[in-house]
Amino acid sequence: MTFVELNISGVVEIIPDVKGDERGGFFRSYCQQEMDKINMKPIVQMNHSFNVQKGTLRGLHYQKPPHQEQKLIRCVHGAVWDVFVDLRKNSPTFLQWDKVILSAEKMNSIFIPEGMAHGFITLENNSELIYAHTAFYQPQFEAGLSFDDKMLNITWPTKPTIISDRDRNHPHLSDEFKGIEL
């Protein structure tokens, strides 16, 4: 595995070392020994997101303390434009965002540390993602930010065609937001 640090502190793109021959290919998609290098905690929950239509937007989601989580995300079918926002109070990249294209073709993954909001928009029909989480989902600690928040000014690659009412109604940031204390 090759680890590529991105512009947001602690976010890492993971490029697999694919071994291929006439049969196809093989690669490790997860190895705790390798993930220890980026301080990933053990996985306790896995989720699968499937999205029928190109332009489906999900996010921006996060878990509030004390149930914040690290995520390891990989696209297993199709492609998504994956975005993450730094909400950590004392981070040098506080309230900055970055993105990476995750695709089944590239076979890449993204490691997102605690204190980040996360979302994506599908670039192809029938896009699917596998999420590995380091904390159990706690609905009472679930939170979100508006995908079109003016303070964040995320430049989505395309206008969403499908977005849930819940995601459409996440709050916008205000000047009173001071970040997540980890």
Candidate list 30, 67, 77, 131, residue with the active-site label: 131
Is 131 an annotated catalytic residue?
A: yes
Q: Distance between CA atoms of 171 and 114, rounded to whole angstroms?
A: 20
User: Residue 107's closest CA among 76, 73, 69?
Assistant: 76
Would residue 61 show up in a list of annotated catalytic residues for this protein? yes
> 């000014």: which residue's tokens?
153
In the set 30, 61, 67, 77, the catalytic residue is 61
Q: CB-based contacts of 176: which residues, under 8 Å, 6+ apart? A: none
Q: What burial letters (b/e) apply to 10-43, b meaning 16+ CB within 10 Å?
A: bbbbbebeeeeeeeeeeeeeeeeeebeebebeeb
Give catalytic residue positions: 61, 131
